Structure 1
């Protein structure tokens, strides 16, 4: 993964809080025993707007310090903002060229991921963007930019499943019904045969569900993925705790 030396898999029961289901359960979706397939760097989860590279949430506050001179990045942004073939797209997001406020989210020898607009520890504002640069000779070339409307933890394996609920959750039972929808393009397949076991992380305040599925092989059309109901088995009723969907950063309430 670019720009993320020392990345390690977050697994087992060494998460903050207690990982539910390190043993078997009798009904509902049994939590996976090896923990959610998330990636950490120096005790922070990696997040991204989809795919590689990822960055740590703290980078969204003040950015990371670039290994190359900041003037080199600013010169590249100046060139990108005034390049005739690009300026129609880039001048709007770089109105002041290299003097446009920016933060560096991730970096390696050949790639830079830059944040434009307002970003906080919890992610970007609605109109904020990322911009990707790639090394070309002695300089940098633009390879794309876009909004970041689905900020999510970076997965070591699998693809995210979104969780929701159109009905009130039963907070008195250890079995909770949720609606699941695959987020990747899957050709509108039935998700149930492809679901991994969910990972459930509990604290005294909330219960976070990390649910993934096996991605299909080859290119897929995106006509819209079906939503199906599934049952989760908890170690104890929710009570007054909040049930959270871990497919977003930060996790969002379900229901």
Structure 2
């Protein structure tokens, strides 16, 4: 694929309403109105909320300051750094360097991405990343003394000016097979977008096909203005193939190494979330709860801290062991309750009312949310399971 120019010219991309998306969307095509779910009224117009565009440039793969030529992510193409790294570390960074060294940096093979008389840029596999991320270290010489200019981690990813990347999944309601000439994807924007769909912003799907794989990346025009990051909804996107899928693998190439898309979507480990709500405790009391498991403990929320903590307060992921959640109201006395309590101390606390108890048992393909609601010296508990498929 070296030097291969990536085109989306021959590809028709259709945004399809429904198909399991997180919210309803109008349908927009890239100049075609004959795709699934399309009618004449759905044809593109200047008022359509989504716009798909053809991408005619070169994709770059970048990690930190390094752009990998021809998208070949292989640090072995660069000479190995054989000097003593500690010789370049200033006294002000020595303590942090020693900590990083002991935590795995000593086992990293560093390569010289750039080396001049007054600048050095090094990169190597990040400790414990299993090849999915790199460590980047930079030095610059000032007044004949080397100083650290860069120190951090990065993961190689596709970059295009003005666009961000997205996370792709195969639509669980539309299974591809060997005869498929199109793929239905669920697309989730990775960049911050205030939790909104990319209405009014361009979407550029890129498909690169070979005899062994179908490589896909969906670029989304960056948001304008100030945005926050609560997580973004997904939307369906249909991309056409130049020939039937056959036995080729489907790869999301937004990151390196790429992520293979499979159907049905593999289920990850279950997650348990704990939410507390209801009335704040009376002065001198605390709304309290404990949890069992490998790391048991508890929290006691007095009136002053209730507003800061009420809502989603604790989560376990993966939640692969049974956990007992117990809620109750306790008296703090003249010295106050503090905030945390050890497992044994929690159990010995006075209960002003009846306990409310929820037993969590890991359930395949389901996340669990346990909500404790406080009312005076009483509490109640509810548990909701959410399917992962």
TM-score relative to the length of structure 1: 0.67
Q: Any conservation in 2 of the 1:53–1:106 contact (CA below 8 Å)?
A: no
**Is the CA contact (8 Å cut-off) linking 1:21 and 1:30 kept in structure 2?**
no
Which fold has the larger relative contact order, with Cα–Cα distance below 8 Å and residues 6 or more apart in sequence? Answer: 1
- The corresponding residue for 1:3 is none
Moved more, 159-168 or 92-101: 92-101
**Given that residues 48 and 54 in structure 1 are in contact (C-alpha distance below 8 angstroms), is that contact kept between their aligned partners in structure 2?**
yes
- Of 186, 194, 201, the residue aligned with 1:179 is 186
Residue 163 in 1 paired to residue 159 in 2?
no
Q: CA deviation at 1:94?
A: 3.5
Tell me the SS of whatever aligns to 1:220: coil
**Is 1:222–2:229 an aligned residue pair?**
yes
2:59 aligned residue: 38
Change beyond 3 A, Cα 1:59–1:134:
farther
1:23–1:180 distance in 2 versus 1, CA, 3 Å: closer
1: CA distance, partners of 2:130 / 2:117: 25
Q: Would you say 1:61 and 2:69 are equivalent positions? A: no
Look up the match of 1:254: 261
Q: CA deviation at 1:247?
A: 0.4
Contact 2:108 2:126 in 1 (8 A): no
Partner of 2:122: 114
In the alignment, the residues of structure 2 paired with residue 156 and residue 229 of structure 1 have an alpha-carbon distance, to the nearest angstrom, of: 24
Distance in structure 2 (CA, Å) of the matches to 1:58 and 1:135: 28
The structure having more radius of gyration, on CA atoms, is 2
Shift of 1:31: 7.3
> Structure 1 stretches of 5 or more lacking a match?
1-9, 40-45
Residue 125 of structure 1 corresponds to: 131
Q: What TM-score comes out, normalization by structure 2 length? A: 0.46
CA RMSD of aligned residues (A): 3.8
Q: Report SS of the residue matched to 1:86.
A: helix
Give the SS at the match of 2:67.
coil
**Structure 2: how far apart are the matches of 1:111 and 1:221?**
36
Could you tell me which runs of 5 or more consecutive residues in structure 2 were left unpaired when the two chains were aligned. 13-29, 37-50, 263-389
Mapped to 2, the partners of 1:251 and 1:225 lie a distance apart of: 21
Looking at structure 2, the residues matched to 144 and 38 of structure 1 have their Cα atoms a distance apart, in angstroms, of 25
Q: Please state how far the C-alpha of 1:209 moved relative to its aligned partner.
A: 1.1
For the structure 1 residues 159 and 58, does the alpha-carbon distance in structure 2 shift closer, same or farther, using more than 3 Å as the test?
closer
Alignment partner of 1:238 is 2:240: no
Q: Is the 8 A contact 2:168 2:252 kept in 1?
A: yes
1:141 to 137, 144, 147: 147
Instruction: Tell me the SS of whatever aligns to 1:89.
Output: helix
Deviations 1:146-175 (A, max 9, x none): 333x32134355211221236264233323
